[in-house]
A and B are shown apart, each in its own frame.
Chain A
Amino acid sequence: MTASAVPAPTPASTGEMSRIRGLKTRRNAELGLLVFAMLLVAAFGATVEANQFDEIRPNFWVPAALIGLLFFGLHMVVRFTAPFADPVLLPSVALLNGIGVAFLRRLDLENAIANKLAVPGFFAETSGRQLAWTLLSLILAAVLLLLLRDHRVVSRYAYTLGLVGIVLMMIPAVLPASISEVNGAKLWIRLGSVSIQPGEFAKLALVSFFAYYLVRKREVLSLASHRVLGIDFPRGRDLGPVLTVWLFSLLVLVFEKDLGTALLYFGLFVVTLYVATERSSWLIIGLILFFGGVYVAYLLGDLVGGPFANFYDRAEVWLDPFSQANYERKSGNSFQLVQGLLGLGTGGLFGTGPGAGSPFKVPEVRTDFIFAGLGEEIGLFGLSALLIVYLLIVERGLHAALAVRDSFGKLVAGGLAFTLGLQVFVILGGITGLIPLTGQTTPFLSAGGSSLMANWLLIAMLLRISDAARRPATSGPERAGGGPKKAPTQLHGAMTEVIKP
């Protein structure tokens, strides 16, 4: 089915490149950064082996080369399908993904040494599985880039995607706990040895739906308002959707026992609203609603327990993780949080060095607490570098949102970039004790297929939008004639770009 779509855009885009010499695709910069990122992954692997085996074995570079090969594959796909895409996105994500795999391999190595087992192969254990998940994720991302030549096509399936998103989000809540509950949070579908976290995919579908909905309603939402205390408050009936989503996210909080996911969905909606309407009142209303809801849930957890008890426990533990009472709590004690904090503290400024720490003292170090485990080994300096890489990824997403010419793309890119940032904030805030701890995965680092696949799809979408944003605007005739699909009529006026004087 791609055969009909592929030949049309390729000659047009190469013609374009020769016509406009000033605009560079910067694909070679991407390749260079990618090689650099893989060198870093190899250096991490080498240091780990030096610390664990007391020697650097000659094949230390193989995992880095393997994963580098996968990224090179995606790079080639980007080169041909999205030649103007942002050059920084792919290598930055590749670095995080590669460090994640390298750290998981480091855990496997230590495990094997401690149990006097043979050194695990490159495709064995958690790191091998993560490598396989990476391959699958990259294939999905490449397929998305190949099939979706114009991000605006997504807006046609907006309502379907919205429904899919809500269904995916609600499945674990209605399934029996034996299938869906892991460590007290009902976020999973477990079928035998495979477990899927459908919520990870739900956010992608929901972003597309929100963006479409808001492109259609933005005028009503931003123009009709009352001014109270210098802030524009929208009319009651326009508040309907935001209140619905608020209730929905509280329901998720109650049934799935997970503050992080609730915060993610709610924050996502509020920020897309803010981006669509340019009204700060939405942010204020959103924050008040969220904190109000959370505080009520906390009080209810204290008074009635039941579905709110889990959240109450987490909040108590967050308020004072080092108190003896919290450490010995019956349900949800502060052991994890304390071990994570001690791990980070042991690392100090520069860390113990890759492979020299003791990450197995931290529970769940492969998934939720991978940042604590990494933090012990690379220290504050290393962690802040990784955080800046996340920040740059989010910044590039927002940049694509600013530069793309159609409102739907703006909202999708802004929403996706913000979700990624918020997710990092939620898990990192949880680990470091800034907010109550919730079981979110660290994007691209944690072991786990669903998260990796969903986040790579997110990056593929950002690449597609940033390609549209940076592509020179001469593609008008190409779109109308050879382009695969015409823009939906609802997104009219899409090609005008307003720059506020």
Chain B
Amino acid sequence: MPEFVLTVARFGFLILLWIFVFTVVGVIRRDLFTGGRSKSIVASPRGVGGAVLQGRPAKVKRGKAARQLVVTAGNLAGTRITLGEAPITIGRAEDSTLVITDDFASARHARLVARDGQWFVEDLGSTNGTYLDRGKVSGPTPVPLGVPIRIGRTSLELRP
């Protein structure tokens, strides 16, 4: 084998090895930002090019759909729960989805249920009541985005 080929092979291998490392880093990088980017890339073409009549209602609903429940005040401030279709129970009981350690909360305080993409808050007979913005919740009440649900000292909001 000529010396030249051996040298090329030797350095070629090292270069390939580093390219592999950078490709891996690239995949990780894309993975990190995939959440933010996919929203902007996937959502807009569908609104522009999709079937208008059928696509529109679905799109509107999807755009307004709540994706996260965020605790904005209280001990658990900063907690986020990614919403799916499962109901979310809130209370001091340890099997609740969101366990709040608040003196004014009951063991099973309130429940959030999704119906056709709209979330409803429902009080489960709590001692101190559940409030949607300022009003007391008596039956299942639809929860708009960004309106605080107050339970004792804790406040929660739905976010897109």
Name A's B-contacting residues (CB within 8 A): 21-24, 26, 29, 33, 36-37, 39-40, 43-44, 46-47, 50-51, 54-56, 86-88, 91-92, 95, 350-354, 356, 378-379, 381-382, 385-386, 388-389, 392, 395-396, 472-477, 480, 489, 492-493, 495-501
Option from A36, A351, A386, A477 in Cβ contact (under 8 Å) with B10:
A351
Given known pairs A24-B34, A501-B77, the reply for A36 and B28 (CB within 8 Å) is no
CB pair A356–B10 under 8 Å, yes or no, is yes
Contact A354 B10 (CB under 8 A): yes
Check B85–A50 contact: CB distance below 8 A. no
The answer to whether A21 and B42 have CB atoms under 8 Å apart is yes
B85 touching A498 by the CB < 8 A rule? no
A37: min CB distance to chain B, Å: 7
CB nearest to B96 among chain A residues: A493
- A499 near B78 with CB under 8 A, answer yes
What A residues does B20 contact at CB under 8 A? 33, 36-37, 40, 95, 385, 389
B134 at the interface (CB under 8 A from A): no
Q: How many A-B residue pairs have CB under 8 A?
A: 145
Task: State whether B14 touches A385 (Cβ < 8 A).
Answer: yes
Are A353 and B85 in contact, with the CB atoms below 8 A? no
Task: Label chain A's interface by main secondary structure.
Answer: helix
The reply to whether A29 and B27 form a contact with Cβ atoms under 8 Å apart is yes
Closest 3 A-B residue pairs measured CB to CB? Answer: A474-B84, A476-B86, A353-B10
Known interface pairs A47-B13, A495-B97; A472-B82 also in contact (CB < 8 Å): yes
B99 x A492 contact (CB < 8 A)? yes
CA distance A474 to B81 in the complex (A): 11
Interface set, chain B 96-111, CB cutoff 8 A to A: 96-99
Which chain A positions have C-beta within 8 A of B1? 50-51, 54-56
Whole-angstrom distance between the alpha carbons of A473 and B35 in the complex?
A: 14
Shortest beta-carbon distance, B73 to chain A, in Å?
A: 11
- Tell me the B residues contacting A by CB distance below 8 Å: 1, 5-7, 9-14, 16-18, 20-21, 23-25, 27-28, 30-31, 34-35, 38-39, 42, 76-86, 94-99
14 interchain pairs, CB-CB under 8 A = A23-B34, A23-B38, A26-B27, A33-B27, A37-B20, A47-B13, A392-B21, A392-B24, A392-B25, A472-B84, A476-B86, A489-B94, A496-B81, A498-B76
Instruction: For A379, list chain B residues within 8 Å (CB).
Output: 14
CA distance A395 to B28 in the complex (A): 10
Can you name the residue of chain B whose Cβ is closest to the Cβ of A492?
Answer: B94
Task: Say yes or no: A497 contacts B80, CB within 8 Å.
Answer: yes
**Looking at B6, B12, B25, which has the most chain A CB atoms within 10 Å of its CB?**
B6
A residues near B42, Cβ cutoff 8 Å? 21-22
Whole-angstrom CA separation of A388 from B23 in the bound complex: 12
CA distance A499 to B28 in the complex (A): 21
Question: Which chain B positions have C-beta within 8 A of A352?
Answer: 10
Give the chain B neighbours of A385 by CB distance below 8 A: 14, 17-18, 20-21
CA distance A91 to B28 in the complex (A): 12
Contacts of A395 in B (CB 8 A): 28
Q: Which of B5, B17, B35, B98 contacts A50 (CB 8 A)?
A: B5
Do residues A33 and B84 form an inter-chain contact, with CB atoms below 8 A? no
A22 touches B84 (CB 8 A): no
* Complex Cα–Cα for A356 and B13 (A): 13
Q: Could you tell me the distance between the alpha carbons of A156 and B63 in the complex, rounded to whole angstroms?
A: 41
Report yes or no: A388 in contact with B21, Cβ–Cβ below 8 A: yes
Expressed in whole angstroms, the Cα–Cα distance for A21 and B76 within the complex equals 30
Q: Does A46 lie within 8 Å of B9, measured CB to CB?
A: yes
Whether A476 contacts B14 in the complex (CB less than 8 A), given A50-B1, A498-B79, A501-B78, comes out as no
Shortest Cβ gap from B157 to chain A (Å): 14
Distance, CA A23 to CA B25, complexed state (A): 19
User: Whole-angstrom distance from the CB of A21 to the nearest CB of chain B?
Assistant: 6
List, in ascending order, chain A residues with CB within 8 A of B27's CB: 26, 29, 33, 87-88
Since A47-B6, A473-B81, A497-B80 are in contact, a sample of 18 more A-B pairs with Cβ atoms closer than 8 Å, ordered by chain A residue number, is: A22-B38, A22-B42, A33-B24, A43-B12, A43-B16, A44-B13, A88-B24, A353-B9, A354-B9, A385-B20, A472-B82, A492-B95, A492-B99, A495-B81, A495-B97, A499-B79, A500-B78, A501-B77
Q: What is the distance, in angstroms, from A494's C-beta to the closest C-beta of chain B?
A: 10
Q: Is the CB of A40 within 8 A of B17?
A: yes
User: Do residues A496 and B97 form an inter-chain contact, with CB atoms below 8 A?
Assistant: yes
Cα–Cα, bound, A381→B20 (Å):
13
Closest to B15 in A: A381
Interchain CB contact (< 8 A) of B28 among A353, A392, A489: A392
Chain B residues within an 8 Å CB radius of A500: 78
Contact B35 A350 (CB under 8 A): no
CB distance from B58 to the nearest CB of A (A): 12
Chain A residue with minimal CB distance to B78?
A501
**How far is it, in angstroms, between the C-alpha of A43 and the C-alpha of B34 when the chains are bound?**
32
For B23, what are the chain A residues with a Cβ–Cβ distance below 8 Å? 33, 36
The closest CB in chain A to the CB of B38 belongs to A22
Partner of A474, one of B9, B11, B12, B85: B85
Cβ–Cβ contact B14 & A389, under 8 A = no
**Residues of chain A lying within 8 A (CB to CB) of residue B77:** 501
Query: In the bound complex, do residue A92 and residue B24 qualify as a contact, i.e. CB atoms below 8 Å apart?
Result: yes
- Which residue in chain B gives the minimum CB-CB distance to A474? B84
